[in-house]
């Protein structure tokens, strides 16, 4: 060695040291591999892949309406993933996936070179297999030990699973932001479509997410997401997976990002929450991770009709009562950076409330308002689009409500597709419909906007029913011998203080008019309060209280006083629609239900609603003759009475129901039915206050009911109940009267009997 030239020795000695250290390193690595490899975790979690799949809720006809779980995931088979999605993922994450054995050494060298030339960490070299190992078995800590285990696991995975199996695991497991796990879930969440329908532009956007889901989230960071998408498209072009023409078309394609987290096939958030609660009560263990499917009784088309009818009814009411001004204000001086991005970020935390889109006023005058709409559109409003908000463009408007620069407002498109100024309504509403034959809920909307107010007004709002409760008093009267043609006096009545225990009470009719003696059916059609009070006097309030419980009402919520005749008790829309269904189905009381069945992740039946139908005499609540006569009188209401708008609009004579308006227009109701479907609409404020003069059940609630029935009764032929045995009829047409045959000759006449009233605050409604 000494004979070697000095220069050669200077070269060989360091080389020997390097080779020695390398040999030692290889030996140490081999020892570690020999010791560590057998201790690597079992791959059973991969070979028997069971991801956390959320609880999903569907309509009866199979449309998704709710999803509950920490992870929003939709598992998809590898063969069902479109090729464009596979190509985009490989282009973005691991284009040599099908060539390497788990570790991409060429990729490591390429990344290292790019990082050295770029002066920093610009590229990584983590393969899809390594990411699978990391996601299933390891933490994200950046240590040498973790990297070694990641490499060893990658080799083990590659030796036990096929490439397609590994890729499928990655496609379903990777986190992509917005609680989305897997590309199938991300396609639905970001673009509102199944993975099979994804475009090249959309696939490129999704494929860019794994690198940094929060940084490239198109909802939170649209500009960075766009830059990442463009990178993926360049990679696809460079790899020959798309043509230059496809590349340019994808760049030009406008991406419509779903900005709300909970968008499903149909708006049924309140019903979905009810179904979730029922499933959680029955299957408390792993209910949100085992992939159970809950099928409700809702019908998609009818649920959509109910939702749209309620929204329209509420918005029409709101517009009748004028514009209240700006929703809030933002400090425009605090907005920094790119204008569009800053404006979008400023509006990000303001939810859309469906079609009521937030917008920021950039400038405002009496003739023109310029706004930035959430989502990236500048809108100029002029002319008729400003009429609704005109008073808040006046310089005399209150400063905290006036439309000026920085004001947050709402926009909504009109029937012609033009933006107009609107506002979030303060009033609330509820609608529910069911099948009178089996009690299945066909549509349920518990409020105007679930994201703003999760209180379910269908099941939780206890309100006074007003005159919509009168049919149950009339039904009780039929059992006491009255008939639709019985004559009752509609004239003023004073109940003295000696009988009320407090103060004299003088009930009045809604319209302030009194017509003297009239038929019972006419009194119901015209909603005459004095007739209802006299009927209740005659049959005894205690009897009426007990009788009403046959329909499912809580007796304690309807004290046995004369105020019951005017609907001063407490009910929910759920109770009311169930009670009206008794008249619709011939006298049977059915318990409403909203969940038809629950199935596990494999489709096996776990629970199913009991099969009950009208016609089972064990469910009979009232005499069939009573139901027939009440149906006849309630049809008068929709043809000649306070709800005549129903038969005119729907152009049919087989509708029945009753309006209701409580004291000082606090609550407005319409409950009614056709033999195949019953529905109930309510509108009012959560903190009870006046709806406004003239806002009766017929004005505010009935249009919602009609809007739903236009869809529910489409193609349903008119039908009327068959007269049951045991009735004797007199006269023809509207003059026709019926009585129970056994009561022939025993029809009671008007009496002046009075009944005890509550000792204090009567709160008596001038019900319609």
Structure tokens at 1: 């060695």
- Which pLDDT does position 105 carry in this prediction? 77
Based on the fold, state whether residues 282 and 386 are members of the same structural domain.
yes
Based on the fold, state whether residues 237 and 167 are members of the same structural domain.
yes
Going by pLDDT thresholds of 50, 70 and 90, the confidence category of residue 702 is very high
Question: Which positions ≥6 away from 387 have C-beta within 8 Å?
Answer: none
CATH of the domain at 645: 3.40.710.10
Q: Residue 337, exposed/middle/buried by CB under 10 A (0-12, 13-18, 19+)? A: exposed
Residue 307 belongs to some domain of the structure: yes
- Which pLDDT does position 241 carry in this prediction? 95
Based on the fold, state whether residues 477 and 600 are members of the same structural domain.
yes
Average the pLDDT over 717-736 and give the result.
87
d(CA 728, CA 610): 38
- Which pLDDT does position 153 carry in this prediction? 84
Question: Which positions ≥6 away from 18 have C-beta within 8 Å?
Answer: none
Structure tokens at 519: 């038929």
Average pLDDT of the chain, as a whole number: 87
Residue 758 belongs to some domain of the structure: no
Residue where one domain finishes, among candidates 368, 394, 428: 428
Higher pLDDT pick, 189 / 269:
269
d(CA 62, CA 79): 24
d(CA 155, CA 194): 33
**Domain enclosing residue 387, as ranges:** 271-428
Instruction: For residue range 474-496, list pLDDT tens digits in order.
Output: 999 999 999 999 999 999 998 88
Residue where one domain finishes, among candidates 389, 413, 428: 428
Contact by Cβ (8 Å): 712, 669: no
Structure tokens at 602: 């494999």
Whether residue 365 has pLDDT greater than 70: yes
Average the pLDDT over 11-33 and give the result.
62
SS3 for 729? strand
Question: Which positions ≥6 away from 477 have C-beta within 8 Å?
Answer: 486, 520, 535, 538, 539
β strands within 383-532, DSSP E: 407-413, 419-422, 428-434, 441-445, 487-490, 516-519
Three-class SS string for 70-108? CCEECCCCHHHCCHHHHHHHHHHHCCCCCCCCCCCHHHH
Highest mean pLDDT among 69-83, 248-262, 311-325, 384-398: 311-325
Considering Cα of 581, then 583, then 586, then 587, what sign does the dihedral take?
positive
The DSSP bridge partners found for residue 357 are: 411
728 membership: H or E segment, kind and range: strand 727-730
Based on the fold, state whether residues 434 and 411 are members of the same structural domain.
no
Residue 660 belongs to some domain of the structure: yes
Q: How many domains does the chain have?
A: 4
Residue 438 belongs to some domain of the structure: yes
Residue 12 belongs to some domain of the structure: yes
Instruction: For residue range 571-580, list pLDDT tens digits in order.
Output: 999 999 999 9
Instruction: Point out the least confidently predicted range of 121-135, 267-281, 598-612.
Output: 121-135
Based on the fold, state whether residues 399 and 454 are members of the same structural domain.
no
Based on the fold, state whether residues 196 and 247 are members of the same structural domain.
yes
User: Which of these, 166, 160, 128, lies nearest to 41 by C-alpha position?
Assistant: 160
Based on the fold, state whether residues 590 and 690 are members of the same structural domain.
yes
User: Which of these, 707, 655, 669, lies nearest to 570 by C-alpha position?
Assistant: 669
Contact by Cβ (8 Å): 684, 431: no
Residue where one domain finishes, among candidates 403, 428, 453: 428
CATH of the domain at 199: 1.10.3810.10
Based on the fold, state whether residues 420 and 440 are members of the same structural domain.
no
Average the pLDDT over 373-391 and give the result.
88
CATH of the domain at 404: 2.40.50.140
Residue 262 belongs to some domain of the structure: no
Residue 760 belongs to some domain of the structure: no
Instruction: For residue range 609-631, list pLDDT tens digits in order.
Output: 998 999 999 999 999 999 999 99
Highest mean pLDDT among 351-365, 412-426, 665-679: 665-679
Based on the fold, state whether residues 395 and 531 are members of the same structural domain.
no
Share of the chain above pLDDT 90, in %: 64
- Which pLDDT does position 749 carry in this prediction? 38
- Which pLDDT does position 145 carry in this prediction? 65
Average the pLDDT over 86-92 and give the result.
95
Based on the fold, state whether residues 15 and 81 are members of the same structural domain.
no
- Which pLDDT does position 112 carry in this prediction? 53
Q: How far is CA 227 from CA 195, 209, 218, in A?
A: 22, 11, 10
Going by pLDDT thresholds of 50, 70 and 90, the confidence category of residue 602 is confident
Based on the fold, state whether residues 594 and 728 are members of the same structural domain.
yes
- As annotated, the active-site residues are 93, 467
Other beta carbons less than 10 A from residue 238's beta carbon: 12
97-102: long-range pairs with CB below 8 Å, 24+: 97/127, 97/128, 97/129, 97/163, 97/167, 98/163, 100/127, 101/155, 101/158, 102/127, 102/129, 102/130, 102/151, 102/154, 102/155, 102/157, 102/158
Other beta carbons less than 10 A from residue 168's beta carbon: 21
- Which pLDDT does position 750 carry in this prediction? 37
Residue 186 belongs to some domain of the structure: yes
Whether residue 269 has pLDDT greater than 50: yes
- Which pLDDT does position 744 carry in this prediction? 76
Based on the fold, state whether residues 416 and 438 are members of the same structural domain.
no
Average the pLDDT over 79-108 and give the result.
90
Instruction: Point out the least confidently predicted range of 372-376, 384-388, 443-447, 497-501.
Output: 497-501
SS3 for 264? coil
- Which pLDDT does position 11 carry in this prediction? 62
Highest mean pLDDT among 135-144, 391-400, 416-425, 580-589: 580-589
């Amino acid at each position: 060695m000494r004979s070697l030239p000095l220069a050669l020795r200077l070269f060989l000695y360091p080389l020997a040291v390097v080779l020695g250290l390398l040999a030692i390193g290889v030996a140490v690595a081999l020892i570690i591999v020999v010791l560590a490899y057998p201790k690597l975790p079992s791959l059973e979690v991969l070979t028997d892949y069971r991801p956390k799949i959320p609880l999903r809720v569907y309509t009866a006809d199979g449309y998704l309406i709710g999803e509950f779980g920490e992870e929003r995931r939709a598992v998809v088979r590898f063969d069902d993933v479109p090729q464009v999605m596979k190509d985009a993922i490989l282009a973005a994450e691991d284009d040599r996936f099908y060539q390497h054995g788990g570790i991409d050494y060429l990729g490591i060298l390429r990344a290292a070179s790019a990082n050295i030339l770029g002066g920093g960490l610009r590229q990584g070299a983590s393969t899809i297999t390594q990411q699978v190992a990391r996601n299933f078995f390891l933490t994200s800590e950046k240590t040498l030990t973790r990297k070694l285990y990641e490499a060893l696991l990658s080799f083990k995975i590659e030796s036990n699973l096929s490439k397609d199996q590994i890729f499928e695991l990655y496609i379903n497991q990777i986190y992509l932001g917005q609680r989305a796990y897997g590309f199938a879930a991300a396609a639905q969440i970001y673009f509102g479509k199944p993975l099979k329908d994804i475009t090249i532009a959309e696939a490129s956007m999704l494929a860019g997410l794994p690198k940094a889901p929060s940084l490239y989230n198109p909802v939170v960071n649209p500009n960075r997401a766009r830059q990442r998408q463009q990178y993926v498209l360049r990679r696809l072009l460079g790899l020959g997976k798309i043509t230059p023409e496809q590349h340019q078309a994808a760049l030009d394609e406008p991406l419509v990002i779903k900005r709300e987290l909970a968008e499903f096939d149909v708006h049924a958030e309140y019903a979905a929450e009810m179904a979730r609660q029922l499933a959680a009560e029955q299957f408390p263990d792993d209910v949100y991770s085992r992939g159970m499917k809950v099928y409700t009784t809702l019908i998609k088309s009818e649920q959509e009709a109910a939702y749209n009818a309620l929204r329209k009814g509420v918005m029409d009411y709101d517009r009748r009562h004028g514009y209240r001004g700006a929703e809030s204000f933002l400090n425009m001086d605090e907005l920094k950076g790119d204008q569009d991005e800053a404006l979008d970020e400023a509006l990000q935390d303001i939810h859309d409330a469906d079609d009521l889109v937030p917008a920021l006023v950039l400038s405002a005058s009496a003739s023109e308002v310029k706004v930035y709409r959430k989502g990236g559109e500048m809108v100029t409003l002029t002319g008729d689009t400003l009429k609704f908000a005109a008073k808040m463009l006046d310089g005399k408007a209150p400063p905290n409500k006036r439309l000026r620069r920085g004001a947050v407002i709402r926009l909504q498109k009109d029937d012609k597709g033009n933006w107009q100024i609107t506002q979030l309504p303060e009033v609330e509403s509820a609608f529910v419909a069911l099948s009178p034959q089996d009690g299945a809920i066909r549509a349920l909307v518990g409020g105007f906007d679930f994201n703003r107010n999760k209180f379910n007004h269908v099941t939780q709002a206890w309100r006074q029913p007003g005159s919509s409760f009168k049919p149950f008093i009339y039904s009780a009267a039929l059992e006491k011998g009255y008939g639709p043609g019985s004559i009752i006096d509609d004239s003023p009545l004073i109940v003295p203080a000696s009988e009320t225990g407090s103060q004299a009470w003088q009930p009045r009719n809604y319209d302030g008019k009194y017509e003297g003696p009239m038929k019972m059916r006419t009194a119901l059609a015209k909603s005459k309060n004095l007739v209802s009070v006299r009927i209740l006097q005659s049959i005894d309030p205690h009897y009426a209280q007990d009788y009403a419980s046959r329909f499912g009402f809580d007796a304690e919520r309807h004290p046995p006083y004369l105020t019951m005749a005017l609907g001063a008790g407490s009910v929910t829309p759920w109770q009311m629609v169930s009670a009206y269904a008794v008249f619709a189905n011939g006298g049977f009381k059915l318990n409403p239900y909203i969940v038809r069945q629950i199935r596990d992740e494999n489709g096996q039946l776990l629970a199913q609603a009991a099969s009950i139908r009208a016609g089972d005499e064990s469910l009979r609540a009232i005499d069939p003759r009573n139901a027939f006569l009440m149906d006849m009188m309630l049809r008068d209401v929709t043809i000649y009475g306070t709800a005549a708008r129903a038969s005119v609009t729907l152009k049919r004579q087989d509708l029945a129901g009753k309006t209701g308006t409580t004291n000082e227009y606090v609550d407005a109701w319409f409950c009614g039915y056709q033999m195949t479907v019953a529905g109930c609409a309510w509108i009012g404020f959560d903190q009870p206050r006046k709806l406004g003069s003239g806002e009766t059940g017929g004005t505010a609630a009935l249009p919602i009911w009609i809007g739903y029935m236009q869809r529910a009764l489409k193609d349903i032929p008119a039908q009327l109940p068959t007269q049951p045995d045991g009735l004797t009829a007199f006269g023809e047409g509207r003059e026709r009267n019926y009585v129970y045959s056994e009561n022939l000759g025993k029809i009671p006449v008007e009496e002046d009997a009075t009944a005890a009233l509550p000792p204090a605050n009567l709160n008596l409604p001038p019900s319609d």
